[in-house]
Structure 1
Amino acid sequence: MKVAIGSDHAGFDLKEVIKKHLEEKGFEVIDKGTYSKERVDYPVYGKAVAESVVSGEADKGIVICGTGIGISISANKVKGIRAALCTNEYMARMAIRHNNANILALGGRVLGQDLAINIVDAFFSEHFEGGRHEKRIELIHQIEESYCQ
């Protein structure tokens, strides 16, 4: 599986830890930046990861900023993205099972590394359940279509 990952300066350290973890598990990781702790603007990296996912360059994505809030909002502005900000493993599992999320958002300043790795593992171990959830995903798609013209 190909995973695009990106962060701002506040998420840089966690990005590097997660990137290494995924590579050790056999994932192909596409690093969309940032590449240092120098102050940058998170929307740039949220957009880069989101575009990688919608273009098919990556199967899924991970975005990280200080809280995960700003970068998840940014990624969700790209048509076709369902970025889920998760603070625990249950949320990560449900983001996939019920919402078919294609990007995981994390907060580098609010999560410890061990918990973040557990959230990542939970996110990538699940599958979309479909069924009644397909209708809801379609409704989200319809909302998106009505505003993205």
Structure 2
Amino acid sequence: MRIAVGSDHAGFHLKQHVATALQAAGHEVLDVGTTSPDSVDYPEYAREAADLVAQGRADRGVIACGSGVGVAIVANKVAGIRAVNAHDPQEAEMSRRHNDANVVTLSGARLAPADADAIVRTFLGTEFEGGRHARRVGQISDIES
């Protein structure tokens, strides 16, 4: 699977950890930055990662900032993106099953690397259920257009 990853300075170390784990699991990682823990503005990196997913150049996205909230807000402004700020594997699973989320955002300030690994692994390994949920995801797409 091709995964877009990005972060600001507050999510940098977690993004680096997740990118390494994804590569070790055999995924292709498209890292849009940032490249250091020096202060940057998160919208640039969140948008770039979300754009890769929306354009079909990446299958899913993983974006981190201090809380995971700011990057989720930015990603959700990109048409075709359904981003979830997941705090545990259960949220990641349900966002995939019921909402067909295609980007997961993570808190660099609150998540330990092992917890992030579990969230990302669940997010990538869970399929969309479709059915009545597909109708609802279609309604979300209608709002975008």
TM-score, normalised by the number of residues in structure 2: 0.99
Give SS of 1:98's match. helix
Report the equivalent of 1:140. Answer: 140
How many residue pairs get aligned? The number is: 145
Q: How far off its partner does 1:56 sit?
A: 1.4
Give SS of 1:81's match. coil
Report the equivalent of 1:17. Answer: 17
Unpaired runs of at least 5, structure 2:
none
Report the equivalent of 1:103. Answer: 103
Unpaired runs of at least 5, structure 1:
none
Amino acid at match of 1:136: R
Report the equivalent of 2:38. Answer: 38
Please give the root-mean-square deviation of Cα atoms over the aligned residues, in Å.
0.6
Moved over 6 A (4+): none
Q: How far off its partner does 1:113 sit?
A: 1.0
> How far, CA to CA, are the matches of 2:15 and 2:73 in structure 1?
18
Report the equivalent of 2:77. Answer: 77
Q: How far off its partner does 1:98 sit?
A: 0.5
Amino acid at match of 2:118: N
Amino acid at match of 2:138: E
> How far, CA to CA, are the matches of 1:60 and 1:48 in structure 2?
13
> How far, CA to CA, are the matches of 1:59 and 1:112 in structure 2?
25
Amino acid at match of 2:144: E
1:54-75 deviation line (CA, Å, top 9, x unaligned):
1111111011000000011001
Q: How far off its partner does 1:106 sit?
A: 0.5
> How far, CA to CA, are the matches of 2:67 and 2:110 in structure 1?
6
Identity %: 46
Give SS of 2:11's match. helix
Give SS of 2:99's match. coil
Report the equivalent of 1:61. Answer: 61
TM-score, normalised by the number of residues in structure 1: 0.96
> How far, CA to CA, are the matches of 1:121 and 1:81 in structure 2?
19
Report the equivalent of 2:91. Answer: 91
Give SS of 2:18's match. helix
Report the equivalent of 1:8. Answer: 8
